[in-house]
């Protein structure tokens, strides 16, 4: 990326198989934003007027109740779009989830009018939107499956592996943050992670952990 503008080669790498004219329009009409870790990109109840795609970094999507309890849904990685922003963009509804930058993030936001135009004009954009919906739906089903059919140690293993795939082997998450995502207690998560450390799966650091299991 140069001077805050993504190179066309970067867009090709992150979003393959789009028409050449679509890459040009993404560069012309998209707005690149540099977002520090911890920043909220999308709030519950917010009306979305642009679609968000991630160029660099990871965005966490979760739902929050009136008491501040969180339910982790999924992460959005480079080359992926926020399916919620796609839905809200086309229907102009209010978001029912919150999106927060888990790391420093570079995001490309695209105004509403271009979403409608591209859907009609570019077949590759239509396919991209469908793939995004499908991927997010499958990920949500996996999350529900973990909650409904797995015990907490299995859910924790599934969750940690997902974080490692998206963030690397050393992940900056506290036990409390993990417990919040899994709707558990810090004490339970600490106990299970210490067990994983004894079994040689992870190394626990202050406010982070390192995955060492093959």
Q: Give the position of tokens 């499908």.
A: 134
Q: What is the pLDDT of residue 3?
A: 47
Q: What is the pLDDT of residue 92?
A: 63
CB 74 within 8 A of CB 22: no
CB 100 within 8 A of CB 40: yes
Which of 59-63, 103-107, 143-147 has the lowest average pLDDT?
143-147
Mean pLDDT of 105-121: 87
| Total Cβ atoms within 10 A of residue 112 | 15
- More reliable by pLDDT, 138 or 91: 138
**All domains of the chain in start order, with CATH:** 8-147 (2.60.120.10), 151-211 (1.10.10.10)
Mean pLDDT of 151-171: 91
User: In the structure encoding, which two tokens stand for residue 32, read together?
Assistant: 């690149």
Task: State what percent of residues in the chain have pLDDT above 70.
Answer: 93
Instruction: Specify the pTM.
Output: 0.77
Mean pLDDT of 33-40: 93
Q: Write down the mean pLDDT value for the chain.
A: 87
- 184 phi, psi to nearest 5 deg: -130, -170
Q: What is the pLDDT of residue 70?
A: 80
Q: What are 210's strand-pairing partners?
A: 170, 203
Q: What is the pLDDT of residue 166?
A: 87
């Amino acid at each position: 990326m140069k001077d805050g503008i993504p190179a066309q080669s970067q867009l090709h790498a992150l979003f393959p198989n789009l028409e050449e004219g679509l890459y040009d329009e993404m560069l012309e009409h998209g707005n690149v934003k540099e977002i520090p870790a911890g920043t909220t990109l999308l709030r519950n109840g917010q009306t979305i007027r642009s679609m968000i795609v991630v160029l660099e970094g990871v965005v966490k999507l979760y739902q929050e109740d009136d008491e501040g309890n969180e339910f982790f849904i999924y992460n959005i990685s480079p080359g992926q779009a926020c399916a919620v922003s796609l839905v809200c963009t086309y229907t102009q509804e209010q978001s029912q989830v919150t999106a927060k930058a888990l790391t420093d993030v570079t995001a490309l936001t695209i105004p509403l009018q271009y979403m409608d135009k591209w859907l009609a004009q570019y077949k590759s954009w239509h396919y991209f939107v469908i793939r995004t919906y499908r991927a997010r739906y499958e990920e949500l089903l996996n999350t529900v499956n973990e909650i409904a059919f797995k015990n907490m140690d299995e859910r924790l293993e599934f969750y940690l592996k997902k974080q490692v795939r998206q963030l690397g082997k050393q992940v900056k998450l506290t036990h409390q943050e993990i417990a919040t995502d899994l709707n558990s207690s810090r004490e339970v998560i600490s106990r299970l992670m210490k067990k994983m450390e004894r079994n040689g799966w992870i190394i626990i650091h202050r406010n982070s952990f390192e995955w060492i299991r093959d």
